Copies of this chain bind each other. A is one copy, B any other.
Amino acid sequence: MKFEIMRDRLLDGLSDVMKAISQKVAIPILTGIKIEANEKGITMTGSDSDITICTFIPAEENGEQIIHVFEKGSIVLQAKVFSEIVRKLPTNDVTIEVASGLQTQITSGKSDFHLIGSDAEDYPILPEVKDEYSFSMPSDLMKSIIRETVFAVSQQETRPILTGVHWESKDGGLSCIATDSHRLARRLTVPENMPEIPFSVVIPGKSLQELNKILPDNTEIVNIVIADQQILFKTRNVLFYSRLLEGNYPDTSRLIPAEYKTSLIVNGRLLLQAIDRASLLAREERNNIVRFSTNEGKGIEISSNSPEVGKVEELVETIEVSGEELKISFSAKYMMDALKAIDGQDIAVHFTGAMRPFILKSVEDDSILQLILPVRTY
């Protein structure tokens, strides 16, 4: 294998692949990156068994020669040291050559590195994913869906299925739900060309977080292919594989209240900032609970107190209030996460009593729903 490549392009590709690399892997070769070169370009693969990322750099793009492949071939190089070397090379021209055996020479300017590689034959084979169930959506929409749900997955391994986000076909659309059993985030959307046969998969939250870092902030189309134990996200030059979680996701539909006793509309940003301030004192007590009460149509009073540090009270103006007066307490963190997910618009909050879950929605748009279980303090 021998090729010459622009360092900046190699770095871009590496930075994607590195997101799958972990130093804590059971198979030692997975601390490496597999590099394959042929006349079309080079392909790099990184994996931690759960996530596998494959990136392709074309030899030519828009008439510009990015890579000269002199000899095709493949090698596995230590991911950490290889990416650090590439980052610090003195010029933008890099030549990578597997010289004798697995010895790999990396040359740039007057720098000359020799790395001891591993045989690419020993690298695990990519999971085979058939294009049976597949659909697609723009990258920026995919990123929103991830951002609006993934924060609500469970951080505990006691119920492993809850560490994932449940993606399910529903009424011709896609429903994405995450819950840690104290709060729930749901996002509905209608992707293009949904498969006709219904599907239901649970994607590890960690995989979606890494995918979110790789996806571009634009309307480039992402193809989603679902197989038995794997899901594959395809963009033009990147393949992102994640294993799926096994088991049945709990039915959460009954949790979501359909009737409300108190409803209000409030500016999401103002409410978020007030909760953030109130949580400063709540945090000192380590429970992070704030109190929330309607105030005879004047607004909402947010308060918290910590006997040793002090207390805080703040009035937040409401745009509209209807129904019964209410006093309720909840986790400031859950409320802030939910408000950030709905992001700044006017928000409708619907309650069915101080001890029942309450929901938050955007006033303009029904596609996002956030649900929070209150805490008993009054």
Residues of A bordering B, CB below 8 Å: 78, 81, 84-85, 88-90, 103-104, 110-116, 273-274, 276-277, 280-281, 284, 308-316
Contact = CB atoms under 8 A, between A and B. Distances in A.
B312 A113 contact: yes
A360 to B, nearest CB: 21
Contact of A116 (B78, B276, B309, B314): B309
B311 A114 contact: yes
Contacts of A314: 110-112
A78 B281 CA distance: 11
B81 A284 contact: yes
B273 A312 contact: no
Contact of A280 (B88, B277, B281, B312): B88
Contact of A112 (B84, B89, B313, B316): B313
B281 A81 contact: yes
B116 A85 contact: no
13 contacts: A81-B280, A81-B281, A81-B309, A85-B277, A88-B277, A88-B280, A89-B277, A104-B310, A110-B314, A110-B315, A111-B314, A114-B310, A116-B309
Nearest to A85: B280
Nearest to A311: B114
Nearest to A89: B277
A270 to B, nearest CB: 9
Given A111-B313, A112-B312, A115-B310, 19 more contacts: A81-B309, A81-B310, A84-B280, A88-B273, A88-B276, A88-B277, A89-B277, A90-B273, A90-B277, A103-B310, A104-B310, A111-B277, A112-B314, A113-B277, A113-B310, A113-B312, A114-B312, A115-B309, A116-B309
User: Which 6 residue pairs spanning A and B have beta carbons closest together?
Assistant: A115-B310, A111-B314, A113-B312, A110-B315, A114-B310, A112-B313
A117 to B, nearest CB: 9
A273 B91 CA distance: 12
Contacts of A310: 81, 103-104, 113-116
A116 B81 CA distance: 53
A312 B111 contact: yes
Contacts of A274: 90, 111
